[in-house]
Structure 1
Amino acid sequence: MDWDYPQPFTLPVTPCAGDIDGLDHTNNAVYVRWCEQAGWAHSEQLGLSLPDYRRLDRAMAIRRGEYDYLLPTFAGEALTLATWLVAGDGKLAMERRFQLVRDSDGATVLRGRWDLVCIEISSGRVRRMPAEFVDTYMPAMAQAVDAAAP
């Protein structure tokens, strides 16, 4: 696959009949749901799960999400969703990117990006990342293959 960044965390996905909208293609909200699933799975693979977030009373919350829907997908198509952490200040903020590729021809059908901010779960207020977040997430930051990567 021609990934935007090296060493993606990937999740295979396939639209099912319930994912298809009135225009006979995958509904845009399904892509958002898949991105959330990939983000959590990547975090768990790195070593931080929802129980860890609760134990630490901290979470990386989406402050802003952007999605570029480039091509339609259809029921039964094999797709691969990739995600990376690409930026972080080690204090409050991180950025996560997504790229959804159609397996049959390698075409990128979606790109997404989340600006994340660390919050205290109990209050919802922005708080500094705990050491466990910094130690887990900062070494996982991907570097762009070239300056043209989105």
Structure 2
Amino acid sequence: MNWDYPNAFTLPRVPQAADIDGLNHTNNAVYVRWCEQIGWAHSESLGLGLEDYRRMDRAMAIRRGEYDYILPTVEHEELLLATWLVGGDGKLSMERRFQLVRNSDGATVLRGRWDLVCIELASGKPRRMPQEFLDAYMPVITSRR
């Protein structure tokens, strides 16, 4: 695959009938859901899941999400979704990027990004990342292009 960044964390995806909208392609909301799913899967692979967030009373929350819908996809089309952490200040914020590729021809069909901020779950207010976040996330940060 021609990934935007090295060391992609990937998940295969195949749109099903329920994912298809009135225009006969995968609904944009499905892509957003898939990005959430791979974001959690990547975080869990690094050792931080929802229970860890609750235990520490900290979470990486989406401050801004942006999606570029480049090409449509259709039911039963094999796709591969990738994600990376591509920026972080080591204190409060990080950026997560996404790329969705069609397996049949390697075409990128979606790119996305999230600006993430560390919050205290109890108050919803921004807080510094705990050391456990830094230990898990910072070693996999990829530099921006």
Q: CA deviation at 1:142?
A: 1.5
SS in 1 for 2:39: helix
Q: Which runs of 5+ in 1 are unaligned?
A: none
Counterpart in 1 of 2:76? 76
Distance across 1 between alignment mates of 2:56 and 2:41: 19
SS in 1 for 2:52: helix
What TM-score, normalized to structure 1? 0.95
What TM-score, normalized to structure 2? 0.99
- Cα RMSD of the aligned pairs, angstroms, is 0.7
In the TM superposition, what whole-angstrom CA distance separates every residue of 1:96-147 from its partner, at most 9, and x where no partner exists?
A: 0000000000000000000000000011010000000011101110135xx4
Counterpart in 1 of 2:124? 124
Distance across 1 between alignment mates of 2:35 and 2:81: 8
Paired residue type of 1:58: R
Identity of aligned residues (%): 76
Paired residue type of 1:96: R
Q: CA deviation at 1:57?
A: 0.3
C-alpha contact 1:69 1:110 (8 A) present in aligned 2: yes
Paired residue type of 1:142: T
SS in 1 for 2:12: strand
Counterpart in 2 of 1:114? 114
Corresponding residue pairs, total: 145
Counterpart in 1 of 2:16? 16
Distance across 1 between alignment mates of 2:61 and 2:36: 11
Distance across 1 between alignment mates of 2:133 and 2:45: 13
Counterpart in 2 of 1:37? 37
SS in 2 for 1:94: strand
Counterpart in 2 of 1:64? 64
Q: CA deviation at 1:69?
A: 0.1
Counterpart in 1 of 2:133? 133
Counterpart in 1 of 2:142? 142
Alignment of 1:52 with 2:52, yes or no, is: yes
Q: Which runs of 5+ in 2 are unaligned?
A: none
Distance across 1 between alignment mates of 2:33 and 2:66: 13
Counterpart in 2 of 1:92? 92
SS in 1 for 2:6: coil
C-alpha contact 1:6 1:143 (8 A) present in aligned 2: no
